[in-house]
Chains A and B, each alone.
Chain A
Amino acid sequence: MSSDSDKYISLPDEIDYRVSDFYDMDEDLRNEEATRLYDEFSNSKKRYTDVSEIASGGMKRIFRAFDQKTARYVAMAELKEDMNEDAYAPFLAEARLTAALHHPNIIKIHDIDFNEDEKPYFTMDLKLGDSLADIVRKLNENQGDYRITYSLEKLLDIFIKICDAVSYSHSQGILHLDIKPENVQVGEYGEVLLCDWGLARFKEDTHKKETELLDNEFLNGQTVMGKVRGTPGFMAPEVIYDKKKRSEKSDIYSLGALLYSLLTRLPPLEGNTEDILLKTVKGEVVPPIKRSPELSIPNSLNAVVLKAMSLDKSERYSSVSSMAEDVKKFLYGFSTSAENAGLIKEISLFYKRNKLVSIISGISVLMLIVFILLLDNSRRKEKNLRQIAENNFQKYKSEKEVADLSLRDPSAVINELKEYYHANFLTKPKETLDYVMKMLERVKLSNKTAILLYEFKGDLHFVRQEFDLALLELKKGRGEFENRALFKALNSITDYKSDGKPAPVEVIKKLIKNLDGQYIEQFPRLLMYDKKIRTNPEEHVELVKSVFKAANKVPSLEKFEYDRNTKTLLISGNSDTFSFLYKMYNSHVSLFETLELDHLKLTNNKIFHAKRFYGLKLKTVDLRSIKLHSPRQVISQDVADRIIVSKDLIKPNVLEALKKNSEVIIQP
């Protein structure tokens, strides 16, 4: 055997049975790879290779570099050569702060370290694609198929993602303070990343200067020592005055400016830096609708921008999420539609009022000036607005337009129809709704707009009390996951099949009950439509009562009696919600809109709250049996011409305040 061993493989002296397992062990292909990797890791001295510069800012340079360890390209930030060691700490702090943010729409930091020259660097996601600024520019120049790729819906979707990122960072106590299109990367596959947190601050920092994380003006090229830090046009006015005033509201302003850019395809403010700063502090923002009239920017989005960019911080959105919410409502019509109702009404109200300032919280000062100028010929203007709506209506009615509808860009058509719907619903609920529904049938289906179309249809069917059809359409929209309560309630009444007649009161009551207080804002419009189609007025009153109870979250009321002859409603029992505030236009829609009330009498109500009473427009409100002790119970002028109160139950200060706004009748 020994002679053979030279030729053949010999057996070891001792058989090792432990290795038998290797006999049919699957050969792990990664093994070879792993071995090579170990080798690489233990030998690689230079982690980043193939470095090339892709961008350069004031103090930073950004490179594209191949990371040997992860074997992929990353973006690498370094300080410019001429930066001295004073810049190191803030530079590293920026990286650390960004690294602390874990959000799908916030750029990720991979590595923070010093290079061979002992200079700090950090690496982060490298995304191929455009910055939002590139996209806006290309949209403006109508390059390639950008206007097809980046429809209004797509842009709003991107915007909502940015809002999500900012909202998250605010929840972590961090302000971005340099939100602008240049700092948003949009990847090839629609990924959205908020980048460049170089100006970011912890909220607390605004008070304790010594702990400022990223002090110095070095991080941004546009920054001038002692002047401003940020990007003119996108930075909030208070930041220009005093950087200690910055807050979440400053980011909200910037988001408003960013949305402005997306809607108009233009920078929010124009001119040289000085002009822009001046316009910023004066609040001279040209409304997007006026800036780009040819783009037919939806009124509701125009309002979102102006509210976010209000000069007065308190008039801006209270949070990023509430701003995103309004944009979402525009995108996915369901609960929005009601909020949009009454636009025309609300605008006409502006003209009638003299004390505008107290009422308009969502509209910028500039808008105010415009309105004041218009005040003189307000009547005519109001008529004009009506006329425009009428004309649109006529325009759509022309046969040619109808035929063309199926050929036009579906996203534009849907937006126009939405606007038309909201502008006309209050004055002609049935005609408007039926007409819009008919038009929607002709809108061409496209991938981008399908969900919007289905949800819009679902919305309309709901108002028309075609709950089975509403469910059908909504299922094709975003689906059950996004609207659980709504689906649950609609599913509870699937026994009912719509037949073009008003739905039985019992069905609607069951729906309201199963919605459990949600989507109640949808019902004023349902009632308005109901008023037009239901022949039995008693049934209609019954529905109003159900909606009123649900809105007030009271299972029962002692009395809810309506006298049609005297147009008087008597409500006995605790209730404080009498109208809904629709945020988007700051308008109030009365729950009794359809009863055409003149007189409202409340008794036995301990929680009466005047603020939830706005928008009723009554002749008299009878509050004789209600204790009026608190300023929150002071009714403003537009609720009723006369208010009847009891001498014994009203406090002098409340009485004084009431008298300022309305005629007060004091009874013993």
Chain B
Amino acid sequence: MEDWNTRKSLLLRASNPNDHEAFEEFVYYYKNFINMVFSKLGVSESQSGDLRQDLLLKLWKDIGKFDSERKNSNFRGWLSVVIRHEVYRFYKKNKKENEALASVQLDSRSESEVDKIIEGEWKAYVTNLAITKLKEHFDGNAMEIFQMTLAGKSGTEIAEKLQMAENSVYVVRSRVKARFQSEVRQLRSYLEYES
């Protein structure tokens, strides 16, 4: 795992039929993400298995169609649209057989709203992966400072609570933040499509 961020973009590699390892990794990361989206959209456990399968295949196949050169194109947007289409298609197909659909209430939301939700999940996904990475680099104290900062605590408050010099709080905080931003950047270049 130590060299994961130096590799080529995961999606590019995964599209190579001979790179089994890449495909496996692709499935891992996107499966987790799709799970997050499902739980947000209210897709039931019973249906998620098939749908997830369909989605992963679709993404894997369509990745070549994403044209990053095109104006206004961004990977999250593309990803959201692909996922939304697939989810809608899936429900349309199974509408008659599945009464539970009503509870999903997909119809009541506008397409752009759904896209936004999916995009939001992607952001949360990538940044939360970065948090995991962050934990490898910083001790509990540093993470605590980071968490307290996220909670809106001031440097003075944190220093008081953790009984450390305010100066040190700033130093640690800015280090964690810098590292965090760097992790997010690396994850994005890895997990998202880049031409």
Task: Name A's B-contacting residues (CB within 8 A).
Answer: 1, 4, 6-12, 15-20, 22-25, 27-28, 31-32, 34-35, 38-39, 41-42
Contacts and interface: CB of A to CB of B under 8 A. Distances in A.
Taking each of B123, B126, B174, which has the highest tally of chain A beta carbons within 10 Å of its own beta carbon?
Answer: B174
A7 B127 contact: no
A8 B125 CA distance: 14
B181 A35 contact: no
A364 to B, nearest CB: 63
A22 B130 contact: yes
A34 B171 CA distance: 8
Given A22-B181, A27-B181, A7 B128 contact: no
Contacts of A32: 178
B24 to A, nearest CB: 9
A28 B177 CA distance: 10
Given A15-B128, A16-B128, A18-B150, A9 B133 contact: yes
Contacts of A41: 167
Interface string B30-52: 00100010000000000000000
Given A16-B127, A38-B167, 5 more contacts: A1-B32, A8-B28, A23-B123, A24-B123, A25-B184
B112 interface: no
A6 B170 CA distance: 33
A272 B94 CA distance: 112
B1 interface: yes
B182 interface: yes
Contact of A42 (B130, B133, B167): B167
Contact of B171 (A8, A11, A38): A38
Given A22-B181, A42-B168, A11 B127 contact: no
A1 B29 CA distance: 10
A10 B174 CA distance: 24
B64 interface: no
B123 A8 contact: no
B128 A11 contact: yes
Contact of B184 (A9, A11, A16, A23): A23
B124 A20 contact: yes
Contact of A12 (B123, B132, B182): B132
Contacts of B170: 38
Nearest to A23: B123
A586 B43 CA distance: 100
19 contacts: A8-B25, A8-B28, A9-B4, A9-B129, A9-B187, A11-B129, A12-B132, A15-B36, A19-B128, A19-B150, A22-B180, A22-B184, A23-B126, A23-B127, A34-B174, A35-B171, A38-B171, A38-B174, A42-B167
B185 interface: yes
Nearest to A20: B123
The 9 lowest CB-CB distance pairs between A and B, nearest first, are: A23-B123, A38-B171, A20-B123, A19-B127, A31-B178, A27-B181, A9-B129, A20-B124, A35-B174
Contacts of A9: 1, 4, 129, 132-133, 187
B95 interface: no
B132 to A, nearest CB: 5
A100 to B, nearest CB: 30
Contacts of A42: 165, 167-168, 171
Contacts of A31: 174, 177-178, 181
Interface of B: 1, 4, 25, 28-29, 32, 36, 120, 123-133, 150, 165, 167-168, 170-171, 174-175, 177-178, 180-182, 184-185, 187-188
Residue from the set A7, A8, A9, A19 with the largest chain B CB neighbour count within 10 Å: A9
Contacts of B130: 19, 22
B32 A11 contact: yes
Contacts of B150: 16, 18-19
Contacts of B125: 11, 15
A22 B178 contact: no
B76 to A, nearest CB: 9
B185 A27 contact: yes
B73 to A, nearest CB: 15
Contacts of B123: 20, 23-24
A11 B132 contact: yes
Contact of B182 (A8, A20, A27): A27
A15 B182 CA distance: 19
Contacts of A18: 150
Contacts of B184: 22-23, 25
A18 B178 CA distance: 17
Nearest to A4: B28
Contacts of B188: 23
A31 B133 CA distance: 19
B80 to A, nearest CB: 14
Contacts of B175: 35
Nearest to A18: B150
Contacts of A10: 132
A170 to B, nearest CB: 43
Nearest to B180: A22
Contacts of A35: 171, 174-175, 178
Nearest to A29: B178
Contact of B120 (A20, A38, A39): A20
Given A22-B184, A25-B181, A42-B167, A17 B133 contact: no
B29 to A, nearest CB: 7
A70 B87 CA distance: 58
A13 to B, nearest CB: 10
Nearest to A19: B127
A38 B32 CA distance: 38
Contacts of A8: 1, 4, 25, 28-29
A41 B165 CA distance: 13
Contacts of A4: 28
Contacts of B32: 1, 11
Nearest to B74: A24
A31 B173 CA distance: 10
B132 A17 contact: no
Contacts of B132: 9-12
A14 to B, nearest CB: 9
Nearest to B168: A42
Contacts of B180: 19, 22
A24 B187 CA distance: 12
A17 B127 CA distance: 9
A20 B127 CA distance: 6
A39 B173 CA distance: 12
Contacts of A23: 123, 126-127, 184, 188
A27 B178 CA distance: 8
A608 to B, nearest CB: 75
Nearest to B151: A18
A47 to B, nearest CB: 16
A35 B182 CA distance: 14
Contacts of B168: 42
A611 B128 CA distance: 89
A28 B4 CA distance: 24
B36 to A, nearest CB: 7
A41 B36 CA distance: 44
Contact of B131 (A7, A16, A39): A16
Contacts of B177: 31
Given A22-B184, A38-B170, A12 B128 contact: yes
Contacts of A19: 124, 127-128, 130-131, 150, 180
Contacts of A16: 124, 127-128, 131, 150
A616 to B, nearest CB: 78
Contacts of B25: 7-8
